[in-house]
Chains A and B, each alone.
Chain A
Amino acid sequence: MNEHLEQLKEIRSMMERSSKFLSLSGLSGISAGICALLGAWYAHQKIHIEALYLLFDPQVRSEIVPFLMLDAAAVLVGALVTGAFFTIRKAKRQGLNVWNPTSKRLLMSMLVPLLVGGVFCIGLLYHGFFWLCFPGTLVFYGIALINASKYTVNDTFYLGIGEIILGIVALFLARWNLVFWAVGFGVLHIIYGMVMYFKYDRKQL
């Protein structure tokens, strides 16, 4: 009896481990969230919040847009580097190779919506719809997460839903764009990372 239960458990875990990338570390989410909060805080220090509302003004725009793009790029690099660090560390502890068919599928399923979203936002910038980039990045990121959730832990799906809802609300509250960005990329990531950490990572230590 026990032997058969063991067999079933083994089968289930093999099916999951071979089709999903389960080495994503909760700490990766937390570190990415911290990077985003730092970036948002820095932008908040540098920009008067009213300026975000005056973006039709060409002078304001020419100053703020490059600054925010640099700031966002720095956040992205920081989040990717620290995130990759914790996930590679977890995979090593599990005795797995990080670069395997499941991680490739996970990356591809994220990259397609993300690249489309990126080009879409560049198009918005090009036409001067700067403020729409904030909700735009949140919504496309959420779609990427939902798409990717098939290939990793299920919780990613709910993070994706959260990002999309925030993005849509932000669409109608343009004044709070920076706050929504900080909540979406910062706070949500940290909550998600903590949930992941306590649910999956702690057990394995």
Chain B
Amino acid sequence: MNLLQNFNKAFESKARLGIMSVLMVNDMVSFNSLKELLSLTDGNLATHLRALEEANYISFRKEFIGRKPSTVYSVTIDGKKAFNDHLNELEKFIRGT
């Protein structure tokens, strides 16, 4: 079962997998859209975002929409690579069993 070791720990939770999936197909996604899409609470989402950010998989930018401040997130090149590797591992694992 050494295949399992190749799975990326950063993507272990369902929420983080969800965040990465959304960011892979959208250039920029706001905090609030992520919250709605993944049905997470503010605190929960923020924690997961911070973890991915610390792994250098996502980056963020503060923006103003009218007067409202908004944080928009996007995936980094590292993040894209890590997520693709993770998908390949999943695929390998499923094919292998």
Contact = CB atoms under 8 A, between A and B. Distances in A.
B67 interface: no
Contacts of A17: 37
- Interface of chain B, main secondary structure: helix
Given A96-B36, A97-B36, A18 B94 contact: no
A14 to B, nearest CB: 4
Contacts, number: 51
A10 B14 contact: yes
Nearest to B22: A18
Interface residues of B, number: 21
A14 B21 contact: yes
Interface of A: 1, 4-5, 7-8, 10-12, 14-15, 17-19, 95-97, 100-101
9 contacts: A4-B94, A5-B94, A7-B14, A7-B90, A8-B94, A10-B17, A11-B87, A15-B21, A18-B21
Interface of B: 14, 17-18, 21-22, 24-26, 29-30, 33, 36-39, 87, 90-91, 93-94, 97
